[in-house]
Amino acid sequence: MKIGFIGLGNMGAPMAANLAAAGHQVIGFDLAAPCPDGVLKADSSTAAATGQDVVITMLPNGAILRSVAAEIIPAMDKGAAFVDCSTVDVDSARDVAADAVAAGLLAVDAPVSGGVGGASGGTLTFMAGGSDAAFAKAEPLFDIMGQKAVHCGESGAGQSAKICNNMILGVTMIATCEAFALADKLGLDRQKMFDVVSTSSGYSWSMNAYCPAPGIGPTSPADNNYKPGFAAELMLKDLRLSQQAAKAVDAATPLGQHATDLYRVFVEDEDGQGMDFSAMLPRFEKKGR
């Protein structure tokens, strides 16, 4: 396929590179980041979108997505697919998809899970919203960039799935970090704590796959001084999106709200900026009741 890729940051660059390595013709655009190997450089987002079979965006927020969409939708050929892999608010995803469909395009909102490592390794999970035809057009590309793609429903369903997933992740990571900090003060060996919880009812991805305690469980950012695999400020962004959505539909999410509040303090008032979201553990180690 001929693919335009707009947004070549930490996630977008390796995703675009994997598509190019698989034999697709990829032309990219980013205001600041360079194009990765194998990806041609466009002078503008419009140039990257013109004449392509698929245009993929990976952008920071809903406002930027709306702005880029307004530029590229008129430039795209009818029948082409607009695949947005950004994590944004549900309303922005739905509005952009509606504009794309009105212009004769196929539209997919497909945020990802798996972080920079998943983007580089081609092991991302895609949560997709859009029509059956739109998903079918994008699915072969998801198979290159990721290990799994789930068609969650109509436009906006991908974003809905992503923010629900990451609300769970934020809450469970906080609970995991609290538990390790409590175990320390109770004199419980961290390895013994892991051996029990990882095979008991406290099992979670935060414990078993991404343990926040250095030297415990599989290698994680905790073993690299909490340099981000998934930055705390990105977790805060996703938690805020979850609470924005919850407010819009009048959903009770008290733990989601509390996790948002804790990550806000950690990122904006403490030293969490630029740290992995699992660095909540050393934070809790320093706190008393």
User: Are residues 272 and 263 in contact, defined by beta-carbon separation less than 8 angstroms?
Assistant: yes
- For 96, the token pair is 């952009």
Centroid of chain to Cα 16: 16
- What gap in Å lies between CA 49 and CA 162, rounded to an integer? 26
Catalytic-role residue among 41, 78, 137, 162 = 162
In sign, the C-alpha dihedral spanning 210, 216, 218, 220 is: positive
247 annotated active-site: no
Catalytic positions: 162
